[in-house]
Structure 1
Amino acid sequence: MATTRIEAGFYFLYFSFFPMLLSASGLYPQAKNVIWKSTNFKTVLVWEPKPSANYSYTVELSPVGGNAQKIPNCIQSSQTMCDLSTVMTDPKACYVADVLSQPPQGVIPELSEFPHKTSPKFCPYDDTEIDRPKFTLEVSKGKATLNVRDSPTAIFNGQHLQTLRDIFSEQLHYKVTYWKNRSTGKKTSDSQTSMIEVTGLDQGESYCFQVQVYIPSRTYGKQFGDLSHAQCSEVENQSILDVYSPAVIISAIILILLLTGIIITVTVVCCKRKKKADDKKDVV
């Protein structure tokens, strides 16, 4: 008899609440394709699909092993992205996020729990991509000096944005790739400072340089940032052959000779006409 009552209670709960849950699941579709996009600690969570007018999304973020918090600018939102940069204050922590499908703003929720999708784990210190750095270049007497700007991040320390150097400290290296202009052979140099000197360059030659961030403590495949744009030095005391191609030089010589010939011809003709005019005056 007791078993029969238990079974009856189970069926009552099942048939009473399961249709409600099924209906809610259909009304509030679960998010999918939840991924992280992060560059220089500017971290955004994105997902699909774009919601209809009948539901919205709320994002909850939690450090691994910590408590979840709702993100104020991502509560019952119609957006499919959430900027989490300012709340991920510890770059060395790892995080997970939940994207909840909920009623739109102004609608009283019928359930205490809603369909949700959990993101992969994300560790900013190890996973954020590093953008290409900017640098200035000076080359003199066989030595190049590169002054690299430590790029700012999206993480604040008080009222100031931290740089990559502030976060990675001695783990921040710069890899320099350089080569003679118009040559394919390349060399590399590693520096732990933002002021980089490359010596042993051939004087009178133009060299090109590219820089990228190198974090040796990271796992393979995530150690290097994007390559900077190439900068090339100018050649001091260049000869005319270094500046212009042979075809341009030959064309210039021909043009000069042609102009010289025209000037000489015009001068001779003018002189002859003047002489004839003078001879006529003498006869008269």
Structure 2
Amino acid sequence: MRSSAAPCIVILFFTLSASGSYPKAQNVTWKSTNFKTILTWQPKPSSDYSYTVEFSTLSGNKEVNAHCIRTFGTVCDLSSSLTDLKTCYTADVKSVPLPGATSDLIEFPYTSSPRFCPYQDTDIGKPEFKLTVSEDKRTTTLHVTDPLTAIFKDDRQLNIRDIYSDELQYYVTYRKNKSTGKKEKTSKSNVIEITGLDKGESYCFNVQAFIPSRNGDKDKGELSVTQCTNDDQSFFKVYSVAVIAAAIFLILLLIGLIVAVTVVCYKCRVKALKKGNKESESPLRDV
């Protein structure tokens, strides 16, 4: 009984030793914005092993990215590899020996990623936009630029409208400057008119991409930088009477000081000139 169990113990020992020298990857995570899709994991490998990434659709064959074979890094850019944006993918991060090294392992340790569906899961970045204000100051128009993606087709970089087409909308929130109350508007167009604004008031705007077909908190993209219109309030509305009076007083005081200093300097110069003239007119003593 002992003699037959010994070989099994030896085989198990070597298997555990080999797998132990190639620890599994941990925290395998997808990070994706505008279809720039990166697979990340931990830890950094030692000098004894490296990582190889294999990916596939849920029903397809496993593939590899040339830049993610026996890598010593902990990231793999799969943006150009996930070509079918509307399908879902998984990836395996394998811990593999270095080139030329031997191992008795038949299957190298690996860790699988969560499922990732680019069309549904990539984050949409913040859009940029410009503001124009009508002559009557009652309408502000937002001109929104579709964010670019990491996807290229026929040597052209695609934007999010190229991918989402009519599904793409923009969600606008706006408020009076220095106010917390917000209003909102949704538009399918990149040119968005906000009407019925109060004349003479400054308004602040934010924009997000909005894709209703996406689930949960993925239906809206990243919030844009806030932009505000100029305030057309009059000088007397912005500054109180007391502030204006104080400013006028300071200006008059400064003018008075300048005049006083000028007069004093003038008198001193005149006095000096008179003294010089008297000294030049006095007769010289006989030697």
TM-score by length of structure 1 reads 0.84
Q: Deviations over 1:45-94 (max 9, x none)?
A: 11111110000000001011111101110101110111110101111110
Structure 2 residue runs without a partner (length 5+):
269-287
How far, CA to CA, are the matches of 1:86 and 1:172 in structure 2? Answer: 22
Is 1:258–2:258 an aligned residue pair? no
Instruction: Show the 5 A alignment for 1:58-77.
Output: 58-77=52-71
CA contact (8 A) 1:40 1:152 kept: yes
Is 1:87–2:81 an aligned residue pair? yes
Of 112-121 and 245-254, the range deviating more from structure 2? 245-254
Question: How far apart are residue 242 of structure 1 and its match?
Answer: 4.7
* SS, match of residue 252 in structure 1: helix
Equivalence for 1:154:
150
Number of residue equivalences: 265
Equivalence for 2:274:
none
1:153/1:268 CA distance change after superposition, 3 Å: closer
Letter paired with 1:197: E
Question: How far apart are residue 244 of structure 1 and its match?
Answer: 4.6
Letter paired with 1:186: K
Equivalence for 1:3:
none
Equivalence for 2:114:
120
Question: How far apart are residue 171 of structure 1 and its match?
Answer: 1.1
Structure 1 residue runs without a partner (length 5+):
1-6, 274-284
Instruction: Show the 5 A alignment for 1:195-214.
Output: 195-214=191-210
Equivalence for 1:220:
216
Q: 1:39 aligns with which of 28, 33, 41?
A: 33
1:272/1:211 CA distance change after superposition, 3 Å: same
* SS, match of residue 173 in structure 2: strand
* SS, match of residue 46 in structure 1: strand
How far, CA to CA, are the matches of 1:247 and 1:87 in structure 2? Answer: 68
Quote the RMSD (CA, aligned, Å).
Answer: 2.8
CA contact (8 A) 2:23 2:109 kept: yes
Question: How far apart are residue 107 of structure 1 and its match?
Answer: 2.9
1:11/1:173 CA distance change after superposition, 3 Å: farther
CA contact (8 A) 1:102 1:109 kept: no
* SS, match of residue 216 in structure 2: coil
Equivalence for 2:42:
48
Q: Deviations over 1:236-262 (max 9, x none)?
A: 4x4113555666534311212323544
1:103/1:148 CA distance change after superposition, 3 Å: same
CA contact (8 A) 1:95 1:121 kept: yes
Is 1:102–2:96 an aligned residue pair? yes
Q: 1:137 aligns with which of 119, 131, 137?
A: 131
1:269/1:39 CA distance change after superposition, 3 Å: closer
Percent same amino acid at aligned positions?
A: 54
Q: Deviations over 1:20-40 (max 9, x none)?
A: 321211111111111111111
How far, CA to CA, are the matches of 2:78 and 2:34 in structure 1? Answer: 13
How far, CA to CA, are the matches of 2:189 and 2:76 in structure 1? Answer: 35
1:73/1:272 CA distance change after superposition, 3 Å: closer
